[in-house]
Structure 1
Amino acid sequence: MHNLHVLIHQTRPFHQIRLHQAFNAQGLYNVRLSDDVGEIISDLARGRPADLLVLDHGMARQEALPLFARLASIASTRALLFVGQAQAGASLAHEARRHGLQVLVDVPWPRLAVALGRALDGLALERKGRWRNCHVDRACSLERA
């Protein structure tokens, strides 16, 4: 798990710091920050993959949907993790799944530390050929890939 490449897209510096520290607390230090969707797409196209891309549910849909389409076409990101609260009837995690992307977990801000630990455990299992679906309010379940 310690070799995972994490890319955090967050426009608010306070949230960037909080997320970066949360990953460091889990023993992950290969963490990049971005506040620009175009930069994310350029980095991925240049061969700088991310095992985990962290996105905010508050991200504008007009930025998110083209990003999801691009991620699906280049297949350089293994999983997405969403933080924050989904807007009523407009879940970006749902849209990402519709594009065929693997959404690791939705994490509300107050439960970040616990849910992040579970999600990273699930991603580590996925690397070994198993997938773990994690929900913040329920236990994680194992499925064969």
Structure 2
Amino acid sequence: MTNENTTQPIAKISTRNVNVFYGEKKAIDDVSIDIDMDNVTAFIGPSGCGKSTFLRTLNRMNDTIPGARVEGEILLEGEDIYASSMDVVQLRARVGMVFQKPNPFPKSIYDNVAYGPRIHGLAGSRSEMDEIVESSLTRAG
């Protein structure tokens, strides 16, 4: 994908002046970065410096935290992920994350286990979803 005004490729993810607040506390201050499509990018820093908070902005996981607010611009392949037209479920299917420590949604265990199969349409009915969840929990021990 290229910018229509130039032949430069558009970054896979581009952020401009991103700030994240939890209530009145500012957790992220003015982050701007381009993440290229064909490179590996690492965020390194001490515990509590905002790495996970910033990563959660990239698939709108902060939306699930009461009192969290994100300012600035975050584009995924040139598309504003905070636009009202953005389908958050599809965004999270495209921008997955695996954290060192479990980071469940603030929902029931059932809903956390069912989230992946639900967004990928793997169950046609509630009973099929029940079977998937039970099987997954049994296999996990």
Common fold by TM > 0.5: no
Higher Cα radius of gyration:
2
TM-score by length of structure 1 reads 0.31
Point out the structure with the larger strand share.
1
TM-score by length of structure 2 reads 0.31
Point out the structure with the larger helix share.
1
